Amino acid sequence: MQDHLIEEARSGNRHSLARLLHENYEMVFKYLIKFTLNKCMAEDLVQETMVRAIEKFQLFNPGKAKFSTWLVAIAQNLYLDGIRKKKREQKHIQEELQLEDLYDIQKEHDEDWDRVLDALSRMPEESRVPLVLKYYHGYSLEEIARMMSIPVGTVKSRIHNAVKTVRRELEQSA
């Protein structure tokens, strides 16, 4: 069904593009919640993702990736760009004010889930992203490699190390 909508949207049918975006909205939102650990940020990013998808739709290549994979790649890039920007801003503030990072994540879940989220939040994005893509979204190693523009071996290594890190932190906090 989405192939037909994609063809229509590529022919300029705005309603088909709107339907495609609507059908994938919730999936992208859930994806972003797991990375941002922040509902408001995820909501903002999913909106930005949809706008970017509209702007760049003609660049979408159906032969290269699924539409949902393309949207996730846009969302991921927006998120990572935001993280990089935030890091640059924080570094600048720390240099000027010589303050420690005041970043803290609110906890809304049970104790075990809190520990998992804590472990994930301390993990660098380059490790957390492939882990969440693999185990929360079920993407293959090859799909993750394409989305992140890194070799499959690097994806495997990052996932392996991320799992070890989460297990170690959970054991230490138990």
pLDDT (0 to 100) of residue 97: 42
Count of structural domains, the chain: 2
pLDDT (0 to 100) of residue 57: 92
**Could you give the dihedral angle defined by the CA atoms of residues 152, 66, 68 and 121, in that order, rounded to the nearest 10 degrees?**
0
Which pTM was predicted?
A: 0.56
Looking up residue 148, the CATH number of its domain turns out to be 1.10.10.10
Nearest to 71 by CA among 164, 9, 122: 9
74 with 115, same domain: the answer is no
Query: Could you say which residues of the chain have pLDDT below 70?
Result: 1, 89-114, 174
pLDDT (0 to 100) of residue 106: 33
93 with 125, same domain: the answer is no
14 with 99, same domain: the answer is yes
pLDDT (0 to 100) of residue 112: 64
89 with 133, same domain: the answer is no
Please say whether the beta carbons of 67 and 21 come within 8 A.
no
51 with 37, same domain: the answer is yes
Residue ranges making up the domain that contains 32: 1-103
119 with 132, same domain: the answer is yes
Nearest to 90 by CA among 100, 80, 81: 100
